Homo-oligomer: A and B are copies of this chain.
């Protein structure tokens, strides 16, 4: 169902019923079972997706074979590799469902169609990109300024919901530390 997308849109801009319907019809639902991939490294990202159910991780595999999580996306979050999608270059990222998930996808062509025919859509994506940029900026500051212990505590506080749904393996890959070290951090915290 597209009600969650509609809610998201109306929270940010106002559209007429026809505009709303026209825009929403540009999205196609895709079901992605746990552990399946929406995209793999090397592919050009062909979509921008709005998660309606489940949870995804967007990650990179570095030259030592370690998986580094760029971000997680749960219900009402967007997923894409904005670099690959925008510039039509091969992605360095994998997007994988961590639970049985559903996502609404829009293609670049249809998104451009929307930009041209419903001017307010520019505003929607301007605001959306701005919000994700703010979140990433905050994470960058935290990664530069804080110790792993503190980043872990911050994560729990900021995303209690994700914390419940993720394994320590995934959280460590997001924090940028080994899962063994996360385990030691957890012990240290628990002993207080």
B-contact 0/1 string along A116-138, CB 8 Å cutoff: 00010011011001101110111
Q: A121: shortest Cβ distance to chain B, in Å? A: 9
- The number of times this chain is found in the oligomer is 2
A86 at the interface (CB under 8 A from B): yes
User: For the complex, would chain A's binding face be called helix, strand, loop or mixed by DSSP majority?
Assistant: helix
Question: Could you list which residues of chain A lie within 8 angstroms of chain B, going by C-beta atoms?
Answer: 60, 62-63, 66, 68-70, 82-83, 86-87, 92, 115, 119, 122-123, 125-126, 129-130, 132-134, 136-141, 143-146, 176
**Can you show 30 pairs from A to B with CB atoms below 8 A apart?**
A60-B141, A60-B145, A62-B144, A62-B146, A68-B141, A68-B144, A70-B137, A70-B140, A70-B144, A82-B130, A83-B134, A83-B137, A86-B130, A86-B134, A87-B134, A119-B119, A119-B122, A122-B122, A122-B123, A122-B126, A125-B126, A126-B126, A129-B130, A129-B133, A133-B133, A136-B136, A136-B137, A136-B140, A140-B140, A143-B143
